[in-house]
Amino acid sequence: MKPLVILLSFTFFSTTLYANSHSQQHFDTGSLSRESFPEGFLFGTAASAYQVEGMASKDGRGPSIWDAFVKTPGRIANNETGEVSIDQYHRYKEDVDLMQMLNFDAYRFSISWSRIFPRITPHANLYHYDLPLALQEKYLGLLDRQVIQDFADYAKFCFKTFGDRVKTWMTFNEPRVVAALGFDNGINPPNRSHHLILSHAEAVKRYREKYQAKQNGRIGIFLDFVWYEPLTRSKADNYAAQRARDFHIGWFLHPLVYGKYPRTMQKIVRERLPKFTKSEVEKVRNSFDVLCVNHYTSYYIYEPHQPPSNVTGYQQDWNTGFAYERNGVPIGHRAHSEWLYEVPWGMYKAVTYVTKRYGSPNIILSENGMDDPGNLTFPESLYDINRVNFYRSYLKELKRAMDDGANVTGYFAWSILDNFEWLLGYTSRFGLVYVDHNDLKRYPKLSAYWFKQMLERKNS
């Protein structure tokens, strides 16, 4: 037998042995179980169209702004693209079977705007960074008010076409990131926040007027939220941390709850901050049934004691200092991504803050997870004990927030599969399931089997 054949046979034997052994293994769930959470609480996994589908230019799909963006050399690690990604376009049935095998209830995915024109509950997101390139070229996309009506028309088409099966709709994923990294920093394709809020509100209006009662569904939005902890107990650092929260989640959630931007932003940004008309206030305020919060990490914040910059911009308006350790002690273990520190107590504080400050909304914790480097060996990738510890500790803090009164009705792990991770390409792996990018075969990791055990129903 040739060496290559021996290697392949050994790999098959090893992975089969791994799967069989870990599917029977008893895991430490930290006293967590499905019964720890209220009846009807949803556990799911999440992904987005461009990151997992592949088939980027097939079957009538037009190009998105990401299809154009990734073609610029040096933008993406190793100049990778999502042209093939992990080919969920063809393998979705296999992936749904995986989710069911792992005892998940729901799958949060996004519908690719540029592509438009059973057993797992669908949670559909209408926009996950992938604006049709045609709109960007026609009128600069989200920089023009025309996008408000165009997005609402697209949303209406989706409600009409898929609303008999989709009962949970989300308009935008992380509009703050879309605006800040696209328009302010120029790291991602360009976008603009005020038009995102108005586009969301117009889509919600159309859904509520014509489809919601008939289809018995609900609608909301995904907002990202890093917890900002004051570095010291000083009044200045506490003010700085609150300023960061207002410029982060408050930028979008404050208008959606109260119909106006946070007072902190009004005071600092002044005339540069757009204003809502009276009719827009009525449309924007209370424009969600469920609030989806994406939470991964936490940072320390301090008052830099320096005058505001002469350069105007999002980060300059914050005028805060970021720290990742206090008295020489790191805030948490860092995952592969430079921005991602494992800080479980931040989950409790973030959820509790949203609950108390914004009227105890119905919250779904819609993204949570950590990544490993893409260059780990196959066995190292499968034995992801750090990810197991991450999920166990974060879920315990989420449960603690719920016990203290937070109205949380669901939790989604990011992500079910290793996929195209935006600027990091395939050098970052967030998945519960390992994907071999050579043949696209799927292999559940240790963390997948941890969830499988934790989510088992006692009466099954």
- Token digits of residue 299: 């940072």
Question: What dihedral angle (degrees, nearest 10) is formed by the CA atoms of 125, 130, 131, 133?
Answer: -150
Helix axes 385-403, 344-357, angle to 10 degrees: 30
Q: Do residues 110 and 162 touch, judged by C-beta distance below 8 A?
A: no
Q: Phi-psi bin for 144: left (phi > 0), alpha (psi -120 to 50), beta? A: beta
Separation between Cα atoms, residue 280 and residue 320, nearest integer Å: 31
Distance CA 160, CA 158 (A): 5
Strands 168-173 and 121-125, by their bridges, are parallel
The residue annotated as part of the active site, out of 229, 367, 397, 421, is 367
Burial track 212-242 (b if 16+ CB lie within 10 A, e otherwise): beebebebbbbbbbbbbbbbeeeeebbebbb
Q: Which helix (H) or strand (E) holds 344?
A: helix 344-357
Residues ≥6 apart with Cβ < 8 Å to 265: 246, 247, 250, 251, 273, 317
Q: Which residues pair with 126 in a beta bridge?
A: none
Active-site pick, 53, 174, 342, 421: 174
202 is catalytic: no
271 is catalytic: no
Based on the number of CB atoms within 10 Å of its own CB, is 257 exposed (0-12), middle (13-18) or buried (19 or more)? buried
Name the residues annotated as catalytic. 174, 367
